[in-house]
């Protein structure tokens, strides 16, 4: 059972046009990657994907492309526990996975292969920011404490659980929490008082993809594991160094330099004379044109950056078009950490290098400059020559 009905507000403007689990991880999406692991680990599982009740057209297009899954719409009851009110009752064990978790296949396997109910405990340096796990001497769950100043362990709720069908009795009894949601973790805490829930510890890579720069980081992790393979067409006088994947139908035109690890999706065009630096992911049907430099960025499908641009440490959603000479700054003069506005708060990204977060269908005119940590809402238009020094709202015409 995959939970995919969250709002993903912290990931806006990227989640304005795509559900959070459809964040690209190289050529796949987060949810496709998890589904692939589950199908490799279990024989013919029944897979339920919990999706929002009201689906925008752009969301429908993503969800309904998933094959061999059953969709369950989450009605009005909010929260991770709220999602479970809408699923049918089962008589088998149930594996529940949050749709926004990036981890290894081995972490999922470690939960699945437990004889008894189990929860993944992910080791993180900052457990107080998550639901931290109270664990007894035998290694069993005693409870989950949300966002505690003195977390009981450095293991947190890893968003992967295996439970017996009677877990749903505890879901049915859920009360609304102080933050106005029905919390799956409350049901688990109550379930763990009557049932043994093994804590499966993992120190493997684990991340909930919640903030825009997480998109860069999880892709970076994935890129560290790739083996180069070139299926596309490479013109003469192109230099490719390190591990670079270039999918079918793509072309790298003469004079371009690609320094891996880099992933280039299907039917994209690079160059002539483009410079693609490490930890770049370019989606399918995109174009990176002449004298364009891209570094440590995730550029989604159908996006065109055709002439004379610099893109560093940025996330650019689908169907964006940059005017010639659009430049993204990724470093402050004082070299301090870059902050980003997230749900009305200014959050430290922890990165000294961070460019822009640009929503789908944005158009920039020629010679636009975009400052570090800026978010540009989907469908916005940026007037030629503008200096984008603040966040731009969805559909706004900036710089006139």
Which parts of this chain interact with ligand TTP (CB under 6 A)?
3-11, 20, 50, 74, 78-80, 82-83, 98-100, 210
Pick between residue 103 and residue 285 the one whose CB is nearest to ligand TTP: 103
Helix (H) or strand (E) holding 234: strand 233-234
Burial class (CB in 10 A: 0-12, 13-18, 19+), 44: exposed
**If you search the block for the tokens 């991880």, which residue do you land on?**
25
Q: What does each C-alpha distance from 219 to 9, 49, 148 come to in angstroms? A: 20, 23, 29
The phi and psi torsions of 162 (rounded to 5 degrees) equal -120, 125
Least Cβ distance, residue 209 to ligand TTP (angstroms)? 9
Least Cβ distance, residue 293 to ligand TTP (angstroms)? 31
Instruction: Give all strands of the β-sheet with 327-328 in edge-to-edge order.
Output: 239-241, 257-259, 275-276, 293-295, 310-312, 327-328, 369-370, 387-388
Least Cβ distance, residue 218 to ligand TTP (angstroms)? 14
Least Cβ distance, residue 154 to ligand TTP (angstroms)? 20
Q: In this structure, what token pair is assigned to residue 225?
A: 């594991």
Pick between residue 4 and residue 216 the one whose CB is nearest to ligand TTP: 4
Q: Kindly state the DSSP code that residue 63 receives in the 8-state scheme.
A: H
Least Cβ distance, residue 181 to ligand TTP (angstroms)? 6
Count of helices and strands (H, E) across the chain? 6, 39
Least Cβ distance, residue 159 to ligand TTP (angstroms)? 7
Pick between residue 288 and residue 298 the one whose CB is nearest to ligand TTP: 298
Pick between residue 157 and residue 285 the one whose CB is nearest to ligand TTP: 157
Least Cβ distance, residue 3 to ligand TTP (angstroms)? 4
Among the listed residues 142, 93, 136, the one whose alpha carbon sits nearest the alpha carbon of residue 114: 93
Among the listed residues 284, 318, 279, the one whose alpha carbon sits nearest the alpha carbon of residue 297: 279
Burial class (CB in 10 A: 0-12, 13-18, 19+), 390: exposed
Least Cβ distance, residue 47 to ligand TTP (angstroms)? 15
Pick between residue 83 and residue 163 the one whose CB is nearest to ligand TTP: 83
Pick between residue 90 and residue 383 the one whose CB is nearest to ligand TTP: 90
Pick between residue 82 and residue 355 the one whose CB is nearest to ligand TTP: 82
Pick between residue 80 and residue 192 the one whose CB is nearest to ligand TTP: 80
Asked whether the beta carbons of 90 and 108 are under 8 A apart, the reply is no
Least Cβ distance, residue 343 to ligand TTP (angstroms)? 8
Among the listed residues 95, 88, 108, 78, the one whose alpha carbon sits nearest the alpha carbon of residue 5: 78
Pick between residue 53 and residue 166 the one whose CB is nearest to ligand TTP: 53
Instruction: Give all strands of the β-sheet with 315-316 in edge-to-edge order.
Output: 229-230, 244-246, 262-264, 280-282, 298-299, 315-316, 357-358, 375-376
Q: What does each C-alpha distance from 110 to 81, 119, 201 come to in angstroms? A: 23, 10, 9
Asked whether the beta carbons of 289 and 306 are under 8 A apart, the reply is yes
Output the residue with the shortest Cβ distance to ligand TTP.
6
Pick between residue 209 and residue 274 the one whose CB is nearest to ligand TTP: 209
Least Cβ distance, residue 248 to ligand TTP (angstroms)? 31
């Amino acid at each position: 059972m995959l939970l995919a009905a969250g709002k993903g507000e912290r990931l806006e403007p990227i989640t304005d046009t795509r559900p959070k689990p459809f964040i690209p991880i190289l050529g796949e999406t987060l949810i496709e990657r998890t589904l692939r692991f589950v199908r490799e680990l279990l024989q013919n599982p029944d897979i339920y994907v919990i999706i929002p009740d009201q689906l925008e057209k752009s969301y429908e297009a993503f969800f309904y492309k998933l094959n061999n899954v059953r969709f369950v719409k989450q009605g009005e009851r909010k929260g991770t526990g709220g999602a479970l009110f809408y699923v049918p009752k089962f008589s088998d064990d149930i594996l529940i996975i949050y749709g926004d978790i990036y981890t290894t296949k081995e972490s999922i396997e470690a939960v699945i292969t437990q004889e008894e109910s189990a929860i993944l405990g992910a080791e993180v340096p900052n457990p107080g920011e998550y639901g931290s796990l109270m664990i007894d001497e035998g290694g069993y769950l005693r409870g989950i404490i949300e966002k505690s100043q003195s977390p009981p362990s450095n293991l947190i709720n890893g968003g992967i659980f295996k439970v017996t069908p009677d877990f749903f009795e505890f879901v049915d009894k859920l009360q609304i929490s102080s933050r106005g949601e029905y919390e799956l973790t409350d049901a688990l805490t109550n379930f763990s008082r009557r049932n043994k829930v093994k804590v499966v510890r993992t120190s493997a890579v684990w991340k909930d993809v919640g903030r825009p720069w997480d998109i860069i980081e999880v892709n970076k992790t994935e890129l560290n594991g790739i083996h180069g393979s070139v299926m596309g067409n490479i013109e003469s006088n192109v230099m490719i160094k390190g591990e670079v994947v270039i999918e079918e139908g793509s072309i790298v035109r003469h004079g371009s330099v690609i320094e891996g690890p880099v992933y280039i999706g299907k039917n994209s065009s690079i160059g002539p004379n483009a410079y693609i630096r490490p930890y770049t992911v370019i989606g399918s049907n995109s174009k990176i044109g002449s004298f364009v430099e891209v570094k440590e960025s995730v550029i989604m499908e159908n996006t065109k950056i055709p002439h004379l641009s610099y893109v560093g440490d940025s996330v650019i959603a689908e169907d964006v078009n940059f005017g010639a000479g659009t430049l993204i700054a990724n470093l402050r003069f004082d070299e301090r950490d870059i902050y980003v506005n997230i749900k009305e708060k200014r959050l430290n990204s922890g990165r000294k290098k961070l460019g822009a977060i640009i929503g789908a269908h944005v158009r920039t005119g020629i010679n636009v400059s975009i400052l570090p940590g800026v978010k540009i809402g989907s469908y916005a238009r940026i007037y030629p020559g503008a200096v984008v020094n603040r966040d731009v709202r969805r559909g706004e015409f900036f710089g006139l």
